[in-house]
Amino acid sequence: MGREVKSAVRVLEVLELFDRLQREATVGEIARELGYPVSSTSMLLSSLLEYGYLRHGPDKRSYFPTPRVTLLGAWIEPLLSPTSEMLRMMAELSDKTGETIILAGPTRDQAQYLHVVPATTTMRMHVGPGTMRPLVASGLGRLLLSTMSDEKVRHLVLRHNGGDLSENELVSLAALRRELNTIRARGYSVMLRGVTPGAGLIGMLLPMTVDGLPLAVGIGGWAREMRTRQLEYVTLLRDAIARHLGAPKRANG
């Protein structure tokens, strides 16, 4: 068996092990259950963590699948998926706006795009499932951040600003706190100067969590379009979420 094939088989075996365990597991436990060397198991889990398929447990030593794993096979038989109403809602938003529709959840210090319905317009954003955006510096990221404690927000800002960034990429903790309070008060986020130059996003929290983690959906496109149609898109989001999933969630921080 070639090295690439062997690695692929091991990825599937790890995911199947989590399906059996239905709980967090450590490197040592996974290696023992599957008969792998601890060193190669650690490298494999680190790669799955980096690509957003696993997240750390509360103790930072264990691992657990992210919602991205849940959605991998949802297209095969949507009626069997607990998120089928969510995917129908996203398709509806796509039909009504023509914009990119994004479902996201938090992974470490990033907002991970779990499912993306591409725009149907000629001018479109090119993002796909698995895309990562900083929680502290992106539209859906800040929306997800609005559900977190002030101490967690402070920690993430310090971590972000400790990276190799230009002055324009640094995040002001005071300004971010004010923005998060605004998001909590009005129930949605608007980002007109995001990670992608010229792009904007309007997002709203969903009334459910996955493994205790918040989820958010957003309408993304060019900033000028988001600015012009902001109230229309907010109304569309609120109505679609209420009809398909229940009332939109408001974060308490």
Q: What is the mean pLDDT of residues 41-69?
A: 91
Query: What's the pLDDT at 70?
Result: 79
Q: What is the mean pLDDT of residues 71-94?
A: 76
Q: Does pLDDT of 79 surpass 50?
A: no
Tokens 């949507």 correspond to 78
Q: Is there a contact between 210 and 62 (Cβ–Cβ < 8 Å)?
A: no
CATH architecture of the domain with range 70-244: 2-Layer Sandwich (3.30)
pLDDT category of residue 30 using cuts at 50, 70 and 90: very high
pTM for this predicted structure: 0.76
Query: What's the pLDDT at 166?
Result: 81
CA distance 84 to 137: 30
CA distance 58 to 55: 10
Q: What is the mean pLDDT of residues 194-221?
A: 89
> Best-predicted range by mean pLDDT among 69-78, 128-137, 174-183?
174-183
DSSP letter at 109 equals: T
Query: What's the pLDDT at 146?
Result: 97
CATH architecture of the domain with range 3-65: Orthogonal Bundle (1.10)
Closest CA to 244 of 82, 67, 73, 130: 82
pLDDT category of residue 211 using cuts at 50, 70 and 90: confident
pLDDT category of residue 80 using cuts at 50, 70 and 90: very low
Dump pLDDT digits (tens) for 89-133: 999 999 999 999 999 999 889 999 988 999 998 767 778 888 899
Query: What's the pLDDT at 253?
Result: 63
Query: What's the pLDDT at 1?
Result: 57
Query: What's the pLDDT at 5?
Result: 72
CA distance 214 to 84: 17
pLDDT category of residue 82 using cuts at 50, 70 and 90: low
Q: What is the mean pLDDT of residues 8-35?
A: 93
- Count the neighbouring beta carbons within 10 Å of the beta carbon of residue 223: 19
**Which whole-number Å values give the CA distances from 184 to 125, 213, 251, in the listed order?**
27, 17, 5
Q: Where are the domains of the chain?
A: 3-65, 70-244
Question: Do 3-65 and 70-244 come out as alike in CATH topology?
Answer: no
Mean pLDDT (the chain) is 89
Host H or E run for residue 150:
helix 150-161
Q: Which residue has the higher pLDDT, 69 or 2?
A: 69
**Which whole-number Å values give the CA distances from 167 to 2, 161, 162, 164, 199, in the listed order?**
46, 9, 12, 10, 20
Query: What's the pLDDT at 78?
Result: 61
